[in-house]
Amino acid sequence: MSGGWSSFLHWRAALRDPGLRLLAAAVLVAVAALSSVAFFADRVERALLLQGAALLAADLVAEQGEPIPQEWLEQAESLGLNRARGITFPSVIIANERPLLVQVKAVEVPYPLRGQLLVETPAGPADRPPGVGEAWLEGRLRDRLGATIGQTRVEIGELDLEAAGVLVDEPDRGGNLFQLAPRLMINFADAERSGLLGPASRVKYRLLLAGDPGQVQRMRSWLTARMSPDGGLVDVENARPELRTALERARRFLSLAALCSSLLAGVAILLATRRYVDRALDGAAVLRTLGMSGMAVLRWHLGQLLAVVSVATAIGSVAGLLGQQALVTLLGDWFGSVLPPPGPRPLLVGLLFGLSLALGFALPTLLRIGQVPPLRVLRREMEAPGVASWLIWLLAAAVFFGLMFWQVRDLRLAGGMALALLAALVVLMSAGWLLLRLLAPLRRAGGSAAMGLAALVRYPHLTLLQLSGFGLGITLLLLLTVVRVDIIDTWQGSLPETAPNHFLINLQPEERARFADLLQMRQVPNSGLHATTRARLIAIGARKVEPGSYANLRARRLAAREFNLGFSATMQGDNRIQQGRWWDRPDDAAVQQFSVEEGIAESLGVQLGDDLTFEVAGQTVTAPVTSLRSVAWDSFNVNFFVVGTPGMAADLPVTYLSSFFLDQDTEGVTLDVVREFPAVSVIDVRPLLRQVREIMERGALAVEMVFLFTLVAAGLVTVAAAQVSRDERAREVAVMRTLGASRRRLLGAVLAEFGLLGLLGGVLAALLASVSGYLIAVQLFDLPGRISPTTWWLGVVVGTLVVALVGWLATRRLLRVPPMQVFNSG
């Protein structure tokens, strides 16, 4: 047979096969849903990363104590990356005859590479770096110096600059909020001429890089081998813990939603496959009778399956591309300007997903087709000797989870999902089995409801399959409706309207009472005062800590710099103990212990029980680590990587820090604080807070959109589950009609049958959704778990009604077909 003719035959035969049509529809919708989600999630994720990059002013920043070598610039150039150099250093400036310590930042065009600089100049707002001879002053610096923009001269080293503008917003406000002196921004060329960049000064040279992600990655690898020991690479993933946590959560939400859609799509394909394979076995027997060899029959069916699935997958992918474009249009205001174009990966995910899922589920059964006995033509009950069914499931499951993992690249998430799915199937199957046992006596009864329920017992395999399909469908739907809203609410609730938006540092011990009085008088909500000191980690156990001994750049950076060591009797509300326990006797001065944030512990290789030695103003302090904590950095509470028992602070030079919430009415408090406590710095974190809130909002909105696709997939599963028994049902309905059963009676029976399936599926789904929702909140998102009653009533009501409706609709259609036609179709 020629290729073209054979394809034509495949097509013609395939289009006539209702089983294959359903399978093709399932693949099409599944691929469309999944690839839309994948496309959209991919683009949103990249947009979120870009937003994060805006806070870094670049995609990647290399930072070290020595000037940036020319070679680095050339490398960046050759990779086609945008680049800008920067220098930061502390220095004393003089203006209006007042000396003041500032944090100088020198930048060059085209800084910033990401995000926006905002400057107020006498000529109006500007977004450019200062020119040679100009300086941008932070608002509080201008206030402290009593400077007049456009007139005051600022002396710094050998330079005499004009205070030419007020720095309103700079995207990369330093890596650590708490060590900020007021900012003075000058031109890069001026910094080099200032005479302040001597070897002993605390200068940091920075190279900002941005561009194509692949090239940035290449640059990163290239730089890693060349960084000096005190240097480090910073990207959005490790720039800001607050942002990292928020981004990570947003990404997990999207992944989870995409996974739910994939799961549903997989179930739909599996259900559709069963019907296709059943019919294919009949056809195979006929072809065998006609003299076709087993292998030829197999090839024929494989060709047919491949042809149909390929086309369905291709159409599904295109539909997915269009679908995500619709999403983008819907969300134009939110993402429009920053949403990067779709990449090729999601297309590949969709294509492979559709193809391998349909083949993975259908192939093991289809392989039996070659061995179908021709006698099946006469005796339909003759089965083909086949591969064990557990092998089929194992193979299909392997394909499915392999793809799932590939898509979300999160072993914990995919693994958890696999386990959850397995547990759900066990629960559904066991409950189904129990149901069958309970209903067995109904086989003897005669009423229409009993007749319907007895139908469940007559086809136990179908009942279990349908219950699993309906149950899983409703579970995932509930997870994404009720539980999703709960988790997102909890997430957004973790950053309330009155979350601290200002931090205050460097308050002296003797100023504490006066400061507390001031806040109380002005009724400012605050987090209280937290003792802290600057400390440098010098040893873990007997091992000395040296930046050069860490291969990990983050660890290297952490080892090189001073920590804010905190002291506290109680643990912050957003912290959670992961290992060990919080101190029992915080008031006992003799108790000396540390609690370490788990992320930094992992980077530095700190284990529970290790002794940590810090150097604090010439003294050394050693104590064991008695707990490892997780910290919700996006809560904006005052948090420390390392916390010691309060007793340890007694002999150390501590200062205090606090965080508080200011609204429009109390904004003036900043000025009062600065005036009354000249040594403190007040840091306004509103821009950062805004950024985190935005990530939360957009993340939540994106999940809502993805949910639409899950709905489509869930609808498909329900239809596919009802269709599983369509052939048997058609015959049964025809025979019953012939024997005189009324329409009402048959519909009543179906309503009872599907209603019970839906009810049971709904109850089990509510149970499964509640448990998995709780685990998802606690395990995946580090949020408090809660169980919503809505899950229960929605599961039960929607489950029963929707499933009954689907069964009713399917049967109503069958009732319109004259019985004779059904008998003639074999």
Partner 1 sequence: MSDGRVLDILSAIDMQVNAGEVAAILGPSGSGKSTLLGLLAGLDQPTAGRVSLLDRDLSTMDEDARAALRAGRVGFVFQSFQLLPGMTALENVALPLQIGRKPGARSQAETLLREVGLGERLSHLPRQLSGGEQQRVALARAFAGDPEVLFADEPTGNLDAESGQRVIELLFRLRDRVGSTLLLVTHDQQLAARCDRVLRLEAGRLQGDS
Q: How many CB atoms lie within 10 A of CB 787?
A: 17
**818: helix, coil or strand?**
coil
Identify any residues that bridge with 413 across adjacent strands, giving them in sequence order.
none
User: Using CB under 8 A, which of the segments 305-313, 395-403, 412-420, 739-747 binds partner 1?
Assistant: 739-747
Question: Torsions phi, psi of 787, nearest 5?
Answer: -115, 125
User: Using CB under 8 A, which of the segments 21-29, 73-81, 261-269, 451-459 binds partner 1?
Assistant: 451-459
461/690 with CB nearer partner 1: 461
- Least separation, in Å, of the C-beta of 22 and partner 1? 21
Q: What span, in angstroms and rounded, lies between the C-alpha atoms of 330 and 336? A: 9
The residue from 108, 731, 748, 805 that contacts partner 1 (CB under 8 A) is 731
- Contacts made by residues 818-824, CB under 8 angstroms, sequence distance 24+: 819/734, 819/735, 819/737, 819/738, 822/730, 822/731, 822/733, 822/734, 823/734
Residue 586 sits in the site that holds partner 1 (CB under 8 A): no
189/735 with CB nearer partner 1: 735
Residue 518 sits in the site that holds partner 1 (CB under 8 A): no
State the binding string over 778-817 for partner 1 (x if CB under 8 A, else -): -------------------------------------xx-
- Least separation, in Å, of the C-beta of 732 and partner 1? 6
94/815 with CB nearer partner 1: 815
- Least separation, in Å, of the C-beta of 739 and partner 1? 4
Our CA angle for 168, 169, 172, nearest 5°, is: 150
Nearest to 681 by CA among 35, 259, 139, 277: 139
Residues 6+ apart with CB under 8 A from 583: 591, 593, 595, 626, 645
Q: What span, in angstroms and rounded, lies between the C-alpha atoms of 721 and 268? A: 7
Residue 743 sits in the site that holds partner 1 (CB under 8 A): yes
Residue 455 sits in the site that holds partner 1 (CB under 8 A): yes
333/381 with CB nearer partner 1: 381
Nearest to 432 by CA among 679, 741, 671, 756: 756
797/820 with CB nearer partner 1: 820
Q: What span, in angstroms and rounded, lies between the C-alpha atoms of 26 and 582? A: 53
The residue from 311, 367, 516, 736 that contacts partner 1 (CB under 8 A) is 736
Residues 6+ apart with CB under 8 A from 319: 28, 31, 32, 36
443/585 with CB nearer partner 1: 443
The residue from 134, 511, 732, 782 that contacts partner 1 (CB under 8 A) is 732
462/674 with CB nearer partner 1: 462
Chain centre to alpha carbon of residue 148 = 47
- Least separation, in Å, of the C-beta of 458 and partner 1? 3
Residue 521 corresponds to which amino acid?
M
The residue from 78, 151, 549, 821 that contacts partner 1 (CB under 8 A) is 821
The DSSP 8-state label assigned to residue 115 in this structure reads S
388/739 with CB nearer partner 1: 739
- Least separation, in Å, of the C-beta of 30 and partner 1? 30
Residues numbered 474 to 513 that lie near partner 1 (CB under 8 A) are none
**191: helix, coil or strand?**
helix
Residues numbered 417 to 446 that lie near partner 1 (CB under 8 A) are 443-444, 446
Residue 740 sits in the site that holds partner 1 (CB under 8 A): yes
Q: What span, in angstroms and rounded, lies between the C-alpha atoms of 408 and 726? A: 35
Token pair in block for residue 293: 């060899």
Token pair in block for residue 495: 């950053």
Residues 6+ apart with CB under 8 A from 633: 240, 241, 242, 244, 245, 639
Residue 820 sits in the site that holds partner 1 (CB under 8 A): yes
State the binding string over 689-728 for partner 1 (x if CB under 8 A, else -): ---------------------------------------x
Element (H, E) at 99: strand 98-107
Residue 459 sits in the site that holds partner 1 (CB under 8 A): yes
The residue from 109, 438, 679, 735 that contacts partner 1 (CB under 8 A) is 735
- Least separation, in Å, of the C-beta of 820 and partner 1? 4
The residue from 440, 812, 823, 825 that contacts partner 1 (CB under 8 A) is 823
CA dihedral for 341, 343, 344, 350, sign (positive or negative): negative
793/823 with CB nearer partner 1: 823
Report the greatest alpha carbon distance in the chain.
108
Total residues at interface with partner 1 (CB under 8 A): 31
- Least separation, in Å, of the C-beta of 469 and partner 1? 19
Residues 6+ apart with CB under 8 A from 671: 143
Residue 381 sits in the site that holds partner 1 (CB under 8 A): yes
- Least separation, in Å, of the C-beta of 460 and partner 1? 9
Q: What span, in angstroms and rounded, lies between the C-alpha atoms of 761 and 765? A: 6
3/446 with CB nearer partner 1: 446
Residue 539 sits in the site that holds partner 1 (CB under 8 A): no
User: Using CB under 8 A, which of the segments 430-438, 455-463, 677-685, 781-789 binds partner 1?
Assistant: 455-463
Angle between helices 241-289 and 345-366 (to 10 degrees): 40
The residue from 357, 712, 737, 811 that contacts partner 1 (CB under 8 A) is 737
- Least separation, in Å, of the C-beta of 459 and partner 1? 5
Question: What burial class does residue 461 get, using C-beta atoms within 10 Å of its C-beta: 0-12 exposed, 13-18 middle, 19+ buried?
Answer: exposed
Residue 744 sits in the site that holds partner 1 (CB under 8 A): yes
The residue from 741, 771, 775, 778 that contacts partner 1 (CB under 8 A) is 741
In the complex, the residues that contact partner 1 under the rule CB under 8 A are 381, 443-444, 446, 451, 455, 458-459, 728, 731-732, 734-745, 815-816, 818-821, 823, 826
